[in-house]
Amino acid sequence: MEAASGLTGHAIVVTGAGRGVGAAAAAELARLGARVVVNDIDEVAARRTAAGIEAEGGRAVAQPGDVSVRADAAALVARCVDEFGRIDGLFNNAALMAIGDFVEYDDRLLRRLLDVNVVGVANCAAEAVGPMLRQGSGAILNVTSGAHLGLPHMSLYAATKGAVASLTYAWAAETAGTGVRVNALSPLSLGHMTRMTDDYLIAKGHADAPFAAPSPESNAPVVAYLLSDRAGDVHGQVVRISGTGLSLMTHPAIMTPVLDRPVWTYDDVDRAFREILSARQAPVGIAYGEPATAAPAPVVPFD
């Protein structure tokens, strides 16, 4: 355990912690002094992660369950409070992955992704935020993905992760000033999801070799920091960790300038695009840029 980690004695729930980023994060949190409730829909995997933490001298209990079921999410948070007396953090990591082109759209698959990746995140956060608000402190860390910016072949998965980003922004606005912080992580790691992507792209002729993704453990220190007291001033952010690169992702924003006229006609809109807006279109796919500002948007008369 490291001294003054900002996590000593904290009680933290980690969903989807049977393997990958979740398991690595649970181990790192325990190493830094947190007490961890390990969740996974795979009971054997959850118990294996918890046992590994205990074997290293940490404190962990396993609580299997399906986060898309509200009762299971409630039981997960209740187990943390019953076992450790409080809940200080939630790492909302559990998710399903899907890959496929637009023409391969499967509505049943999308509904299952929404159930786990969006409803599951909302279920766990909704159960955790009540106790956190009552104690005046806590941290919720959701998991989004760079895919939500527009990666090809990942539209269904990306849509769910875009929803998670939107939940994060809205919850952060709602909890501002309460002592409860809400952020999201956009991680990158080698695991089942990246192997699925590699297999699909190779089969479709889109790639010749697997992508060299970083290890799940490379994400764990960022997870631990964002759930710790040291990150007390980090709120409403999406943090990107991709191997050796650490960054913030830009908040969705209304681009400036805002063109203003008393009434917009069809021809006015056409002229606005030809003269100003077309040249300011955002690029398709993942882009890089400076963060948005909360300053009032400049309104430019368009005569």
Looking at the annotation, which residues are catalytic?
Answer: 157
Of the candidates 68, 74, 65, the one whose C-alpha atom is nearest the C-alpha of residue 47 is 65
> Are the C-beta atoms of 183 and 226 separated by less than 8 Å?
yes
Residues 66, 142: Cα–Cα separation, whole Å: 16
Residues 49, 60: Cα–Cα separation, whole Å: 9
Place of tokens 């990746």: 117
3-state secondary structure of 28: helix
Residues 71, 48: Cα–Cα separation, whole Å: 23
Torsions phi, psi for 235 (to 5 deg):
-150, 130
Q: Long-range contact list for 276-282, CB < 8 A, 24+ apart?
A: 276/302, 280/255, 282/255
Other beta carbons within 10 angstroms of residue 296's beta carbon come to 8
Other beta carbons within 10 angstroms of residue 84's beta carbon come to 20
DSSP code for 49: H
Residues 286, 284: Cα–Cα separation, whole Å: 7
**Helix H or strand E encompassing 11:** strand 11-14
Residues 221, 257: Cα–Cα separation, whole Å: 39
| Residue 252 tokens, joined | 């969705």
> Are the C-beta atoms of 197 and 210 separated by less than 8 Å?
no
